[in-house]
Each structure stands twice: as C-alpha cells, then as structure tokens.
Amino acid sequence: MKKYWGLLKPRLDTLSRLTALAIIFLSLVIVSPSFASAANIINVLRITSLTLMMAIGVALCMLVGGIDLSIGATIALTSILFGKFFQVGQSTASMIMGITGMLAVSILIGLVNGFCIVFLHLPPFLATFGVQQIVRGLAYLLTSGLVYSNFTEDFRFIGGGQLFGIPMPIIIAVILLLIISFTLNKTTFGYRVYAVGSNRESARYSGIPVNKTLITTYVLSSLIAGIAGIVYTSRLNAAEPTIGAEFAQTAIAAAAIGGISFRGGNGNVLGVVIGALILTLVSNGMTLLGVDSNWQVGISGVVIILSVLVDRNASVRKT
C-alpha cells in the first residue's frame, strides 16, 4: 500500500485537477443536451487549442519564475505585419515569406523581453508589460485602424482547414505540446528551465548558463505566440490591431489553474492542458446553458479563484 502511495503522491495535484475537469465535463453532459455532441466537442477542442498554445508559452516563462504579458500584443503585431506587407502578392511564396516574417518578428520581441529581463534586470512583469505597450502601440500605428482580410485559401487552411477530419489548430497545438513536453522532460534545456526556476542562485553556482536559459525561454514564449498568431489570423481571416487584448490574462489563468507555480520550477505541461480545458469548458458551457453575458465574466472569475484555492500548492501561509 505504502508503495502505491509513494507512486501516487507526486501525481496527486494532477489527479485532483483531472477530477475537477471530469466533474465539470460530466455536469455539462448532464445539464446541457447539446454539449456532448461530436460537433461541440470538436468545437471545444478547437477553442482550447488556441488558449493552450498561448498558455504553454506563458507557462515556460512561469517555470523560470517569470511571466509574459506581451503575448497578446505579439499576436496583434505579427498578424498586422502579415496583413499589411505579405499579403500583397497573394502567392504561396509571399505567404511563406509572410509566415517567416511573423515568426522572425515574434522572436525579436522575445529577444527584447529577454534583454530587458537579463541585462537591464527588470522584473519580468514590468519588462513584458512595457514591451506589450510598445508592441501594441506599433500595431496600431501600422494599421491606422484598417482591417486586413480575405487571405488566400492556402493561408486560411492553417487555421480553418481539416486534416483527416481534425481541425488544423488542434493538430498544431498537439504537435507543439509534444515538442515542448519532450523539451522540458528529456532535454538539457528542460532540466535547466526547472533548475533556474527552482533556485536561480544555486543554478548559477552549479554552472547552468542562467542568462542564456532565461533569454531562450522568453524567445520560445514569443515564438509560440507567433505561431498562435498565425493560426488565429488564418482562422479569423482578418488582421486587426485590437485582437488578443485579453490573451495574456487568459493564458496566465490557464497556466495557474493548471498548477504552474508563479515562483517557478513547479508544474508540468499536462497541467496546462487541463487548465486550458477547464477555462474553455466553463465558457462554452455557459454559452450553451444560455447564461447572460453579464454574468459570464464574473463566473469565470469565480472559477479562476476557486481552482487556485483548491490547489495544494496554495498552502496556507504561516507568516
């Protein structure tokens, strides 16, 4: 018995989160007849996949003890750049150039974040908040408020198409998830992320290149935001500077519900998946049940607070 407990104990958090998810899922199945349809489940998964992509990026930053508030703005800026500069030719070549450009810009934003945090010693919250302001300001400046739309069929396939009956965003999110999960669990970089997050000083003393790890993490987070931006722009078939105003908050909420600690070094990718699913299920469920828009905001707030309250990591302070 004791042996099994030893196996079970470290997984208790994930288990309790899975239970919460299952309870929400089952109650929705019972209460709403249209919920359990295949169409709706696909729908939920597709919405989750976007939240999930962004949440994984933010979760990486949180694992090293930081945060990334700039992802929404990154998505807006890259999407605008694509609409403005790369959609002119309407050819496949210009689309590939556009996508490369989007990814390059998102990497650049990640580098700026990393630079501010590592070399200017800014707290991550402030650095990414400031960068967020600048990036979104640039997005507004570039568009002068126009909406760019009607992209090519090829580009629209990325976010709107299906492969073997599965929507593309889900496939992309799953691939991304597998890559990040592998990176975190099986590579040196993954080990370094946890080490830096748990204790930066001792990581430094044990010879881990802390600065390099930090910068790589922020670049990864922005890059993932860039990928999410491509999917989002394609699905929307439009580029607007206003998109993503609440993405950072939603992503952070998903990661926090999924048990990624704000102090770093604690949490896993599976948790983030559960967190993103819980958030989407709640909002999807409320729409299906016909909950008034006015109440929806608050209920999601209650869900966020409750789910972090029941977390074991949220242990009671003695001091």
State in angstroms the smallest separation of the CB of 7 from another protein. Answer: 26
CB of 20 to another protein, least distance (A): 16
Q: Does 165 bind another protein (CB under 8 A)?
A: no
Residue 12 or 289: the one with the smaller Cβ distance to another protein is 289
Residues 247-306 that bind another protein (CB under 8 A): 249, 252-253, 256, 262, 284, 287-288, 290, 293-305
Window 210 to 249, contacts with another protein (CB under 8 A):
232, 235-238, 240-243, 245, 249
Crossing angle of helices 153-160 and 168-186, in 10° steps, is: 60
**Residue 145 near another protein by CB under 8 A:** yes
Q: Whose Cβ is closer to another protein: residue 85's or residue 115's?
A: 115
Q: How many CB atoms lie within 10 A of CB 9?
A: 10
Q: How far is the CB of 5 from another protein (least distance, A)?
A: 25
Residue 79: how many CA atoms within 13 Å on its side-chain side? Answer: 31
Count of positions on this chain that bind another protein (CB under 8 A) = 77
For another protein, the closer of residues 183 and 300 by Cβ is: 300
- Is residue 27 part of the contact set for another protein (CB under 8 A)? no
Return the residue of 132, 216, 221, 268 that touches another protein, per CB under 8 A. 132
The closest of 105, 95, 227, 245 to 169, measured between CA atoms, is 227
290 Ramachandran zone, left/alpha/beta (phi>0; psi -120 to 50)? left
Please choose, from the candidates 200, 224, 178, 30, the residue with its C-alpha nearest in 3D space to the C-alpha of residue 117: 200
Cα–Cα distance for residue pair 299/307, rounded to 1 Å: 12
Residue with tokens 């169409």: 39
Q: Which of residues 29-88 bind another protein (CB under 8 A)?
A: 32, 34-35, 37, 39-40, 43, 47, 67
Of 91, 137, 157, 182, the residue at the interface with another protein (CB under 8 A) is 137
Output the CA–CA distances (angstroms, integers) from residue 148 to 59, 75, 157, 159, in the order listed: 31, 14, 17, 16
User: Strand, coil or helix: what is 17?
Assistant: helix
Indicate which single residue of 16, 104, 130, 270 sits in contact with another protein (rule: CB under 8 A): 130
